Amino acid sequence: MARGRIDLESLITHRVRLTEINEALTQMRTGEALRTCIEI
């Protein structure tokens, strides 16, 4: 944490495209992914 800022990049566990949203939701439900970033 530099200058009172949190490094959010390190908190993201997975990145998916909007077209892959259903797979991302499944991963989150099963616990495979915890913090997913949806890229538009």
Q: pLDDT confidence of 1, banded at 50, 70, 90?
A: low
Return the pLDDT at 2: 64
pLDDT tens by residue, 2-34: 688 888 889 999 999 999 999 999 999 999 999
Whether residue 39 has pLDDT greater than 60 = yes
> What SS3 string covers the chain?
CCCCCCCHHHHCCEEEEHHHHHHHHHHHHHCCCCCEEEEC
Strands 14-17 and 36-39: parallel
Beta bridge partners of 16: 38
